[in-house]
Copies of this chain bind each other. A is one copy, B any other.
């Protein structure tokens, strides 16, 4: 019921030893007599003592703290990402400081500053733009930056990049719609147009243009399910479009559900829909969304490797492979290769 935190001095007093003895008892690989250790442990247990990691970190060169900055945490794929990553961190004895930029997407510099104030060893960016100033700030304090799915033109300081192969994924999506016989397609993304998602869209568009397929671009709102709904309403109000690529599963799910349940369209017979991510719920029997998978476990393990590596490890750039997951939102059979023009 004490008001203050218990300190090593308190324990030392109760155990009848010096502060150093207590410190050594809780320091990995320090030499302390078994008998002393036992006395200390007993007193510590009694008082509810825990080492003050703030003080310890003050003294050491490196902390156990990893900063994680994200947004849109209830997005099905992001939440799976956060789940996997935080679990992995915990298993590796690392602590995670989570900053959610929900209402302040552009507040990222402020977020990084806060994290630096806690002397995190590494900052993982799941979301938000990455201006140069950010990298400079991190570099000036010797903090590593891990960028997830936010490709960077140039690389200042200690930054590890981990990204799914957006270009390959976008192309994969395009070719799949082509194979389904789509002849009038659309791509939908948010208006924020993050570089990774932009790359997905651009690769998709490139392939389509190469095949002379007319393509509409829908780029409004935030990166959410609601954006998918709006897109479907706008895009499918009148017949014509027979294939849609959502740069995110969440968006694609919004498109597909709205087509099916609000517009009374058949997916995939009237319109094929394909997403990107392979979020867990895309596999639910209520959805069965065909999508481009970016392996979550590869992404997590690559991230963890970057975090746990030596502080002076060279910058790394890791590409996560991408693959088509065939489900039921894209027509499977290819019409006998006529160019059956959708009006």
Chain A residues close to B by CB (< 8 Å)? 1-6, 47-48, 50-55, 57-58, 61, 63, 68, 72-74, 76, 79-80, 82-83, 86-87, 89-91, 95-104, 111, 113-114, 116-119, 136-137, 139-142, 157, 225, 253, 256-258, 260-262, 280-281, 284-287
CA distance in complex: A99, B114 (Å): 19
Once A55-B58, A86-B73, A87-B102 are accepted as A-B contacts, the answer to whether A141 and B48 lie under 8 Å apart by CB is yes
Excluding A52-B119, A98-B98, 13 further A-B contacts by CB distance (< 8 Å) are A1-B139, A1-B157, A48-B137, A53-B118, A82-B82, A83-B100, A87-B100, A96-B99, A97-B98, A253-B284, A257-B284, A260-B286, A261-B285
Once A1-B157, A87-B102, A118-B54 are accepted as A-B contacts, the answer to whether A96 and B95 lie under 8 Å apart by CB is no
**Which listed residue (B50, B86, B100, B260) contacts A117, Cβ 8 A?**
B50
Specify which of A111, A137, A141 lies most central, judged by the most chain B CB atoms within 10 Å of its CB: A141
Contact A86 B113 (CB under 8 A): no
Specify which of A2, A4, A82, A260 lies most central, judged by the most chain B CB atoms within 10 Å of its CB: A82
**Can you list 17 A-B contacts with CB-CB less than 8 angstroms, sorted by A residue number?**
A1-B139, A2-B141, A52-B58, A54-B58, A58-B58, A73-B86, A74-B79, A86-B99, A86-B100, A89-B100, A90-B101, A96-B97, A98-B98, A225-B280, A257-B286, A261-B285, A281-B281
**Chain B residues with CB under 8 A of A113:** 50
**Chain B residues with CB under 8 A of A47:** 140
Closest Cβ of chain B to A62, distance in Å, is 11
**Chain B residues with CB under 8 A of A286:** 253, 256-257, 260-261, 286-287
Nearest B residue (CB) for A143: B5
Contact B76 A74 (CB under 8 A): yes
Contact B83 A116 (CB under 8 A): no
**Chain B residues with CB under 8 A of A136:** 48
**Chain B residues with CB under 8 A of A3:** 142
Contact A119 B5 (CB under 8 A): yes
Contact B96 A98 (CB under 8 A): yes
**Chain B residues with CB under 8 A of A6:** 140-141
CA distance in complex: A57, B225 (Å): 41
**Which listed residue (B73, B119, B137) contacts A82, Cβ 8 A?**
B73
Closest Cβ of chain B to A113, distance in Å, is 6
Specify which of A61, A72, A74, A91 lies most central, judged by the most chain B CB atoms within 10 Å of its CB: A74
Nearest B residue (CB) for A157: B1
**Chain B residues with CB under 8 A of A86:** 73, 98-100, 102
- Nearest first, the 7 closest Cβ-Cβ pairs linking A and B are A48-B140, A261-B285, A87-B102, A79-B79, A86-B100, A73-B83, A53-B117
Once A76-B74, A90-B101, A114-B95 are accepted as A-B contacts, the answer to whether A141 and B285 lie under 8 Å apart by CB is no
**Chain B residues with CB under 8 A of A5:** 116, 119, 141-142
Closest Cβ of chain B to A213, distance in Å, is 28
Nearest B residue (CB) for A98: B98
